[in-house]
Amino acid sequence: MKPRILQYVRVVPHLEQALAQRYDVKLLPEEANPHAWLQAHGHEFVGLVTSAKFGVPNKVLEQLPALKVISSFGVGFETFDLDYARLRGLQIGYTPDVLNECVADTAFGLLIDVARQFSAADRFVRAGRWTRETYPMTTKVSRKRLGIVGLGRIGRVIARRASGFDMEIRYHNRTPLTDVPFVYEPQLLDLARWCDFLMVISAGGPATRHLISAEVMQALGPQGYLINVSRGSVVDEAALVQALEQGVIAGAALDVYADEPNVPPALMPLDNVVLLPHMASATHETRKAMADCVLTNLEGFFRTGQVPVAVPL
């Protein structure tokens, strides 16, 4: 018999098709009353598929007494209660590394866009303004100072991209790293004061909520730019709106928001902010690799009892 798998949220179509071919899958969003349905059938499931964006709440896990493995589509795991998973003996698979390059590409594309104002200049041309106005000067990227908040897997790839632009790099982590050549800044405010571009690629969750505060933006200053490709919760959005409106910082470029897909309306009319719809890993190649990793994690567990790429618990 095929293992019984609960699909907690919708995922990319080719992953759903592959799951249906290999397992006995129930798509929970199809149920009008998921809670009642799980009360009757939750004991049937040994595996669960979800995404990093949604995770799975404990109230759902409590209705799955036979659950052994969770395979998550994505790299973050702040939407999971890891303490609860540890107590239950659950293994959680996730999909790091395969999205590093595309997220880094997007991060650096945002950096260039906000400095050289490509998106704003595109709007300028489309509005027919070029025939009667000259677009204002923008900011050079090469040989500038890049501060990276969170020099993990993706942060390191961003640093490699920056090296091609001859940028000087410093970073802030909870602890310094011994295998990188960059200067470690133990205080985030000092990093913000030093850099021209502050790149945020830290983990999400309560520990980093509003890490990028009004005080950090003040330290970044009126010539500095903020780029966020981590989680929306890491940046204090109200403080960011105020900083952009008042010229506290020069500009910002965002792929993530605190209440996706709801973007703060006050950001919409501002030309000194670039807004993307959380698309950093959204390429055909990367999403296929992520889907393959979800499948590999499930297959590895059912074959050996161990998830090959597991969240550390």
| 160 a catalytic residue | no
DSSP string computed for 26-40: EEGGG-SSHHHHHHH
| 44 a catalytic residue | no
Contacts of 155 (CB under 8 A, 6+ apart): 148, 171, 199, 201
Contacts of 126 (CB under 8 A, 6+ apart): none
Active-site pick, 156, 161, 172, 231: 231
Active-site pick, 88, 210, 278, 299: 278
Which stretches of 201-243 are assigned E, i.e. beta strand? 225-228
| 123 a catalytic residue | no
Return the bridge partners of 24, or none. Answer: 4
Active-site pick, 260, 284, 287, 303: 260
166 by Cβ neighbours in 10 Å (0-12 / 13-18 / 19+) ranks as exposed
Q: How many CB atoms lie within 10 A of CB 265?
A: 8
Contacts of 93 (CB under 8 A, 6+ apart): 69, 70, 71, 72, 293, 294, 297, 298, 300, 301, 307, 308, 309, 310, 311
Are the C-beta atoms of 64 and 4 separated by less than 8 Å?
A: no
CA distance 22 to 194: 52
Return the bridge partners of 169, or none. Answer: 146
Which stretches of the chain are assigned E, i.e. beta strand? 4-7, 24-27, 47-51, 69-73, 91-93, 145-149, 168-172, 183-184, 197-200, 225-228, 251-254, 273-275
Extract the tokens encoding 208: 């980093």
**Would you name the residues annotated as active-site residues?**
231, 260, 278
